[in-house]
Amino acid sequence: MVVFMGVTGVGARRPTTGAERMRIAIACVTVFTAILLTVPAPPAAAATRVPGIDVSMWQGDVDWAAVASTSTRFAIMRATRGHDYVDPRYAEYLAEASANGLVVGAYHRAKASLAAGDPRAEANHFVDVAQIDAGDVLPVLDIEEHGGLTVPQLTKWVRTWLARVFTRTGVRAMIYASPYFWRTYLGDTTWFADNGYPLWIAHWGVPSPTVPAENWGGRGWTFWQWTSTGSVSGISTNVDRDRFNGSNLLRGKIASLTVTPAAGGVITGARIACGGGALTCRRLANPDTVLTLAATPDPGASFRRWKGACAGAGSSPTCDVTALGTKTVSAVFTYPVQVQMQGSGAGTVSSAPAGVDCGTTCTASFPVGSTVDLTAAADSASAFVGWSGGCAGGNPGCQVTVSQPIEVVATFHSVVSVEQDGVGTAFGWGRVVAPDAFGGSYRWERRAGASATYAFSGGTVTLFTVSGPGMGRGRISIDGTTVDTFDGYARTVATGVRHRFTQLGAGPHSLTVDVLGTKRSAATGTRVAVDALRWGGQTRLNPPAAQAAWASVSNAAASGGSYVIGDAREAFARLRFQGTGVSLRTRRGPAMGRAEVWVDGALARIVDLYAPAPTFATVRLADGLVDGSHTVRIVVLGTHRGASSGNGVAVDRWIVI
């Protein structure tokens, strides 16, 4: 096929004037015989070139599904001409070709003139109409008319148009021209090739095209329009046929780079400023363009690493991305979490995710937006008092959300461990209100090993107990010697059951009642009760024990190898201590109940010791007290939650801060 100078054009450039029609008709007559005898063969090396077409309104109705069923993979369409013309078929072609899976592209037919602002106006018109985006064929400037401009004037016009498109899109458009036109009207300049503008060469009927501008600066052509009289299924007219110079059209399409905003810093680069309120996070680019990005952390933050297409750059604050197809980049910025430890005690604070391990590593950085769990653990001679700063409360676990530099203070105090029967401890049995009792109520316990000791003086003493269906067996000792074993069972409840002992000798004595934890078969329980005590001619009603004990349970995990437990309502365990706070190491489990916590005579809280499985736990009873003498008392409520099977309250040891 012969290429006629001055009449070659994109989209089978259809004549728009009578003169043009006549000129082309004469040319067609001249070469008609040659056309009949010489049918153009497909270009050489076609197997390595992706086939496509270019179209304009002159192609009329197009069956794009049929076009897509052929080897055609792309379609470049005329969008605009001059500064105000829009191809009436552009929007239709664009939508239907895209819907049928073809890669689409847009070109602008230049109408160069010396009018002020003309190249910028034409470029703006093209960009507004074409709406090019990532994945499209590179945009095109079709330069076929010199408009009477000299070579320098036309060169400047083309440079201005291309610069405006680049400013608005970030993409260097392709230039469409024939070898003759480029050499004649643009002086065979290499400036455009040297500055990265690809070439779409129009050269028909030859095995390979002639490429101007010194083989386009040694880069060769990117697209080649090799015929204007092609035939493609779905198009009834002749159609321009094209080839992309390569087997992968990705390098002929607009690439995109998307930066995901990362809290804690800003990512910047050419046409990118993402983060810190700036949201220019996406840009278009020519394929194989190297884009340099920089990660800048906010004040107090640090840059940790890149993600996505920049992952290979690791912790370097800059990254080079080669634009090709669709690529995404993000960054990880961090803020420090710093832990300080205060107080007279010692312990550790660790984090999950790992990082903080304080005493040794007390500052670590974590990604912005992440959550960090901190756990405080006191050593054996200390107790964790509580958090301040970025955390609060006395729970040893704390969670922080990293949105700024965080400082956390963990306070540990030295502790004094007081065993269940240590100095300052006391226990009391439960109490039952009974109108028939001497004082309107009596004391009781039911577990083997519980005991109550009373001091008296004189040679005679009388102990009054209670009998009934739920009573079991007990033992009475005076001055450490067993003097009686009794069975409190009776069909009906009776108070004031007398146990009298004489000939004890003058002076002080002690009487101890031990719960044996056994009963006769008819009894419903093993309770042992103390109603009153009489000596020296005076009856002591509901007498307070000089010393009482709850039942002891052996357990290797307990502090001293055992703990004590009670479940009688109003039974109590008390500690007088010197310090600023106190905790209770207790037993939790499926048969445990509730207790009141009284601090210095005031109700502080109610604790529930139920747990699905048995375990030891430390319960904070009081903290933040004025350093001095205080009293804490645990009172059994005799109640439990629905899931529990008992009312037990246990004391393993006291921890005084």
Confidence at residue 344, expressed as pLDDT on a 0 to 100 scale: 85
Confidence at residue 46, expressed as pLDDT on a 0 to 100 scale: 54
Q: Is the pLDDT of residue 281 over 70?
A: yes
Q: Is the pLDDT of residue 503 over 70?
A: yes
**CB-CB contact of 122 with 108 (8 Å):** yes
- Residue 371, strand partner residues: 401
Q: Is the pLDDT of residue 541 over 70?
A: yes
What would the pLDDT profile of 409-445 be if each residue is shown by its tens digit? Answer: 999 888 888 888 889 999 999 999 999 998 899 999 9
pTM: 0.67
**CB-CB contact of 450 with 651 (8 Å):** no
Residue 401 vs residues 241, 245, 261, 266, 335: alpha-carbon distances, Å: 60, 53, 18, 20, 10
End-to-end CA, the chain: 101
What would the pLDDT profile of 20-45 be if each residue is shown by its tens digit? Answer: 333 333 333 333 333 333 334 454 44
Which is more confidently placed, 522 or 6? 522
Which amino acid, 10? V
If phi > 0 it is left, if psi is from -120 to 50 it is alpha, else beta; for residue 553 that is beta
**CB-CB contact of 544 with 452 (8 Å):** no
Q: Is the pLDDT of residue 285 over 50?
A: yes
Mean pLDDT computed over 102-118: 97
Which residues are known catalytic residues?
54, 142, 144
Q: Is the pLDDT of residue 651 over 70?
A: yes
> How is 119-181 classified by DSSP, letter by letter?
HHHHHHHHHHHH---TTSBPPEEE----TT--HHHHHHHHHHHHHHHHHHHS---EEEE-HHH
Nearest to 607 by CA among 578, 626, 632, 625: 632
Residue 7 tokens read as: 């009449």
Query: How big is the CA angle at 249 (ends 285 and 203), to the nearest 5 degrees?
Result: 100
Confidence at residue 512, expressed as pLDDT on a 0 to 100 scale: 98
Give CA–CA dist 262/281, Å, rounded: 11
Residue 108 tokens read as: 């602008």
Instruction: Kindly report which listed range (195-204, 582-591, 620-629) carries the lowest average pLDDT score.
Output: 620-629
Q: Is the pLDDT of residue 4 over 90?
A: no
The DSSP symbol for 72 reads -
Mean pLDDT computed over 157-181: 98
Task: For residue 508, give the 3-state DSSP assignment.
Answer: strand
Beta carbons within 8 Å of 137's beta carbon, 6+ residues apart: 52, 74, 76, 103, 104, 105, 106, 223, 249, 252, 253, 254
**CB-CB contact of 376 with 343 (8 Å):** no
The CB-based long-range contact list for 150-154 (8 Å cut-off, 24+ gap) reads 151/185, 151/186, 151/187, 152/187, 153/114, 154/112, 154/185, 154/186
Mean pLDDT of the chain: 91
Share of the chain above pLDDT 70, in %: 93
Q: Is the pLDDT of residue 460 over 80?
A: yes
Q: Is the pLDDT of residue 127 over 90?
A: yes
**CB-CB contact of 283 with 274 (8 Å):** no
Confidence at residue 231, expressed as pLDDT on a 0 to 100 scale: 97
Nearest to 133 by CA among 285, 6, 290, 240: 285
Mean pLDDT computed over 82-105: 98
